Structure 1
Amino acid sequence: MKNKGDVIINVTSVAARKPDAGTSLYNASKGAAAMLTQSAAGEAGKHGIGIIEVAPGPIDTPMLTGYLQREMAKGSAVTEKTVEAATLLGRIGRPEEVADAIMFLCSPSASYVTAASLTVGGGFALG
């Protein structure tokens, strides 16, 4: 950590704040990464380095597809439609939406942002 103005982005998950039964270890690891962001930001700030958490919600990725397939195989009520309905925007996000948020946080426009968390989840954490 040497260059003032640099930024570190830790990608976690809404699971750090909205845990789901059956994914305890995943939830705990994301919660730990969120806390690491806060702690490290306090240490890096004196060097002019920002550390920010980006917490994606349901995003159209192989991970979400695999999760939905496993839920279907178990006979669970969780489907793509129920996940969409659990977001305030009524849809699953796209990977490029997470990437766009990260690009903004790495830009000069966000140079005063640190020790923050940005949820990119269509309101899933509240839905």
Structure 2
Amino acid sequence: MLALIRTEVTALLLDLTADDSGNWIHYDGRPLTVAEKDIVSSATPAECQAAADALSRAIGEQEEDAAALERVRALAAPYFEQLPADSTMGDAMALMTTEERGEVDALAVGLTPDGVVIVPRPA
């Protein structure tokens, strides 16, 4: 049997955190309204599970993005070591092999809709 999932409940559950006193608040710091507290208290187990599943997916995507950024940094680091301090990623890519440039391009497209990734220089 399929459970009814109210998207507004799931969205609200995903926007909850606790303040220093343990009160539920929005991530931006706003307190919950009375209506929002009622919505949270009416959440079904299926809605809680849907929120947990969405959070797990988001965490997985963030981990994948972090790994991709780290790979871009690892590819670029040896070239940045050869370049002046004010060099850009374009300067580093000009020194890369065709395969490395292709990998960076593929990673960038996967990370952002426009393929632009800002990667801090290695320290």
TM superposition score category, shorter chain reference: under 0.3
| Larger Rg, first or second structure (1 or 2) | 2
Task: Indicate the structure whose relative CO is greater, using CA pairs within 8 Å and at least 6 residues apart.
Answer: 1
In terms of fraction of residues, the more strand-rich structure is 1
TM-score (norm 2): 0.27
In terms of fraction of residues, the more helix-rich structure is 2
TM-score (norm 1): 0.26
